[in-house]
């Protein structure tokens, strides 16, 4: 028996929600990388691609430094079909944060995070993961 469109939609709504969250801090990153808005935008785009995520839009902003007349850090946020990828940088501290959250069944946020590490080459980093999935609780 063939399912109708309502049945198919209802099954999708009742299916588990997948939530993969990978985030972290990168320390002792080359200061010039952290000021390079185009590099950060390109890196987010490539990270989403290698992580099997699909970009909808990218918002990017370069900030003035608070401590000097120099160029400050950048924030780049990619809205992806599956959720978001973001990078925020503080060149004066040689520090950046990365946040990758995806509800895509086939997405690989850990692979995307590793790609970002390969580009920015921090001296050390901290990476965290969280399973933010949801399955409808069973009722008796």
Residue of 103, 107, 118, 133 with catalytic role:
103
Residue of 7, 68, 83, 107 with catalytic role:
83
Could you confirm whether 65 is annotated as catalytic? no
Cβ neighbors of 115 (< 8 A, separation 6 or more) are: 43, 46, 47, 50, 51
Task: Name the nearest CA neighbour of 117 among 97, 103, 101.
Answer: 97
Q: Please check whether residue 38 is in contact with residue 85, taking contact to mean a CB–CB distance below 8 angstroms.
A: no
Element (H, E) at 99: strand 95-102
Could you confirm whether 86 is annotated as catalytic? no
Residue of 88, 102, 118, 133 with catalytic role:
88
Could you confirm whether 118 is annotated as catalytic? no
Task: Give Cα 22 distance to the centre of its chain.
Answer: 7
Would you please indicate which residues are annotated as catalytic (active-site) residues?
83, 88, 103
């Amino acid at each position: 028996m063939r399912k109708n469109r309502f049945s198919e939609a209802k099954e999708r709504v009742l299916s588990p929600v997948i939530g993969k969250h990978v985030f972290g801090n990168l320390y002792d990153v080359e200061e010039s990388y952290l000021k390079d808005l185009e590099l950060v935008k390109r890196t987010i785009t490539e990270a989403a691609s290698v992580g099997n995520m699909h970009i909808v839009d990218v918002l990017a902003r370069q900030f003035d430094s608070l401590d000097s007349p120099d160029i400050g850090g950048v924030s780049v946020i990619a809205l992806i079909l599956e959720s978001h990828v973001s990078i925020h940088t503080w060149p004066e501290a040689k520090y950046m944060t990365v946040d990758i959250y995806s509800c895509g069944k086939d997405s690989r946020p850990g692979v995307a995070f590793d790609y970002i590490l390969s580009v920015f080459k921090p001296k050390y980093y901290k990476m965290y993961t969280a399973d933010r999935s949801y399955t409808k609780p069973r009722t008796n």
